Structure 1
Amino acid sequence: MIKIAADKEIPYLDDFFSNKDIFNLKKLDWEEIHNKALRDMDILISRSVTTINKELLENTNIKMVGSITAGEDHINFKDIKNLPIIVKTAKGANAKSVVEYTLSALGLCAERKKEIFIIGQGFVGTKLKEILEYFDYQITTYDPYVNMKDNKYANWELAYKDKTRKKELFNISINASYSKEGKYPSHQMVNYETKIGSSALLINTSRGEVIDYSKLHFRQCVNDVWNNEPNPKVTDFKINGPNQIYSSPHIAGNTFEAKYESLSFIFNDLKRFFSNDFPELKNISRPTFKNLEQLNITNDISELNESLNGNNIPFEFLKQFVDIEEIDRRFREEIPLKNSFQKFRNLSIRKGFGEYELYAENMSSDLKEMLTVLGFRIQEE
């Protein structure tokens, strides 16, 4: 019998670990995940709100930790390096969902030129670049860990000014990993010394610590991540002057589709670790949503066909699936309340584009192609 302690907010746990002859699954609130609760457990499956360190794991029976996250800044690898425990994450599993959120955020300034500066060329940055290239965006990227040519720049601002020939691009997307150390640390990479992009739309879906929120002077910001989650400073949600900040509680990658993929990653890691003691993963039925009218989503193909002029992203259509302005409005109402960040996040798991199935009737071949690039499923006649 394999004993598993898991964060109860993770979807599909009962589906993945349904074999009661092999698994003893104990679901806990994230605040209940502590050393004493893990003493007799074999596996911990957690989220980014749980700090993985020696205090949590020492003198427990935990053999493996699976964190269904893309980032690793909540894991203190130095602290646990001498413990006989393997730690795995789900890097890349939520990339598609984060890109969907970013595309919707770009719709806040749909009238601007198709130009963007992407910081970070990992799973998210690469996927975002691929889709925006389809829509004829002028794309400039910076990632010194991926492109050796970027190593000559001391920071992203110098790269921005050089690569854009001092021309200000209208959108900046931060998809960088977080680090305080190393040759290219990303800690507070956007701060009071940032002198460019004052009129740009800044989108941050990476980690809150890459921005000094108290010094932001961009005209518009979409910030999904914050310092000190899940208890960020209330002052970080305010920007002085005429600037506009759109806020959400770390939900860019928060879709059922991403949660399923993340848990699949961890399940397969566990299977490799336990070898013969682990069962095969069954085909888990995930619903696709076909009748969009029942979900108050307008599937007006004629309007979508019209939006193909100039090969533009159909922002109004996408807004029905991810409405940044509405999320911001609802979230700001909750911010003053205790534990509002985590509560709102738990209630904000949305359906990813790939969980919707659109009927192909009356669709042009170009429209089918565009919707497929965006990640939707097309139901042929």
Structure 2
Amino acid sequence: MKFVIDDACYAYDTIFGDFGEISALPGRSIDKAAVKEADVLIVRSRTKVNQALLEGSKVKFVGSTVAGLDHVDQNYLQDNGITFFSAQGCNSMAVAEFVISAIVNLADELNFDYTKKTLGIIGVGNVGSRLAAKAELMGIKTLLNDPPRQDSEDLLNFVDLDTALSADIVTFHTPLTFDGEHPSYQLLNEANFHNITNQTILFNAARGGVINENVWEKTQTKVNIIDCWENEPNINQNLQKDAYWATPHIAGHSVDAKFMGSFMVYEALCDFTGYKQDESIVNLIAPGILKVKKDNLKDTLNEIYDFKQDTVAIKNIGNFEDYRRNYPIRYEWHHFDSTTVLPIV
């Protein structure tokens, strides 16, 4: 088989090398000519997978090693008999750790007790559920909003959007959708931005476009933490300048998450082809026991990974894409033997 793979996919040569011939390219460079003779296409978020890319090609399987779906025209794939798999949930722990790290840092720097704050989580899927579990373990009251889940599961503890937006800390974890009963595009917009006050800590670690950035840059908040932007990599520099953390869409970029994205696609491809899995691949991430000897949670989390370095790295937004592609090694918390108890759930 012939593969075209985004060269940012984790350990693609080790994980997929036994299947056949691999052509690895930067995601933005994968074009119609590159995929014409390919049987399998494996991408991250920077390749638009649609008719313009695939028409006339031999591709029969598309795997996406990231959780987002807005870069893939699933209707086109289905209509043309192309099997599609997306690694939903692969980065959920990494994103939840990003949000908790920010809250712990802010609590220390702004001198507040996070157990006295409310956390509005908008989108309670893979990421939002993990974040809610960590927050509750830390004694933070959560206000959960997810209309699709509430409609299908009748969850009595969920709240409406205005209530979630009224929380002290508001964080978005929805996919980016434009249609259906509950589209998330500009979910926070001119009509409901009044819920956000000058005391709100506001996150976007979901997708660019979930929050109307034109309104956001004119709205005074207490703090903004922005990892996902409209028009990446040409991000809103007014929001970037004023953000506490302005990071280049890397909240989910832990080593564990990137491995899991590739591994989940590998499992799906084995099912598709009937190929017997190599049992050693599941153990590819093995850093051993990593020790952190700090006597408080903030210092512990920052020794594990300090997200401020990501903000500094893209002060020149020309570094946005290169930094994402060459992101520093960052392991998730469960790898660490820590003096301070970590909120691992």
TM-score band, normalised by shorter chain = 0.7 to 0.9
Aligned residue runs from structure 1 range 1-381, under 5 A = 2-19=1-18, 22-110=19-107, 111-114=112-115, 115-148=118-151, 156-157=161-162, 159-160=163-164, 168-193=166-191, 194-198=193-197, 199-216=199-216, 217=219, 218-238=221-241, 244-275=243-274, 278-284=275-281, 285-290=284-289, 292=291, 299-300=293-294, 303=295, 307=296, 314-332=297-315, 334-335=316-317, 337=318, 340-354=319-333, 356-358=335-337, 370-371=341-342, 373-374=343-344
Q: Distance in 2 between matches of 1:357 and 1:326?
A: 20
Task: Give the superposition deviation at 1:130.
Answer: 0.9
Q: Is the 8 A contact 1:222 1:247 kept in 2?
A: yes
- Where in structure 1 are there 5+ consecutive unaligned residues? 162-167, 293-297, 308-313, 376-381
What one-letter code is carried by the residue in structure 2 that aligns with 1:299? K
Q: Specify whether residues 17 and 81 from structure 1 end up closer, same or farther in structure 2 by C-alpha distance, changes over 3 A only.
A: closer
Q: Is the radius of gyration larger for structure 1 or structure 2?
A: 1
Q: Distance in 1 between matches of 2:255 and 2:310?
A: 17
Q: Is the 8 A contact 1:143 1:150 kept in 2?
A: no
1:173-214 residue CA offsets vs partner (Å, 9 max, x unmatched)? 111121121222211122333112311111111101011122
Q: Specify whether residues 11 and 55 from structure 1 end up closer, same or farther in structure 2 by C-alpha distance, changes over 3 A only.
A: same
Task: Give the superposition deviation at 1:3.
Answer: 1.3
1:6-45 residue CA offsets vs partner (Å, 9 max, x unmatched)? 01121211211232xx421221122331111111111011
1:45-66 residue CA offsets vs partner (Å, 9 max, x unmatched)? 1110100100101111101000
Q: Is the 8 A contact 1:72 1:89 kept in 2?
A: yes
Q: Is the 8 A contact 1:6 1:26 kept in 2?
A: yes
Q: Specify whether residues 137 and 348 from structure 1 end up closer, same or farther in structure 2 by C-alpha distance, changes over 3 A only.
A: same
Q: Specify whether residues 348 and 36 from structure 1 end up closer, same or farther in structure 2 by C-alpha distance, changes over 3 A only.
A: same
TM-score, normalization: structure 2? 0.87
Q: Distance in 1 between matches of 2:331 and 2:138?
A: 20
TM-score, normalization: structure 1? 0.79
Q: Specify whether residues 154 and 133 from structure 1 end up closer, same or farther in structure 2 by C-alpha distance, changes over 3 A only.
A: closer
Q: Distance in 2 between matches of 1:27 and 1:262?
A: 16
Q: Is the 8 A contact 1:142 1:150 kept in 2?
A: no
What SS is found at the alignment partner of 2:330?
Answer: coil
Single out whichever of 111-120 and 50-59 deviates more from structure 2: 111-120
What one-letter code is carried by the residue in structure 1 that aligns with 2:98? Y
Q: Specify whether residues 245 and 212 from structure 1 end up closer, same or farther in structure 2 by C-alpha distance, changes over 3 A only.
A: farther
CA RMSD in angstroms, aligned pairs only:
2.4
Task: Give the superposition deviation at 1:328.
Answer: 1.4
Q: Distance in 1 between matches of 2:290 and 2:255?
A: 18
Q: Specify whether residues 226 and 47 from structure 1 end up closer, same or farther in structure 2 by C-alpha distance, changes over 3 A only.
A: same
What one-letter code is carried by the residue in structure 2 that aligns with 1:91? Q
Query: How many residue pairs get matched?
Result: 329
Single out whichever of 70-79 and 43-52 deviates more from structure 2: 70-79
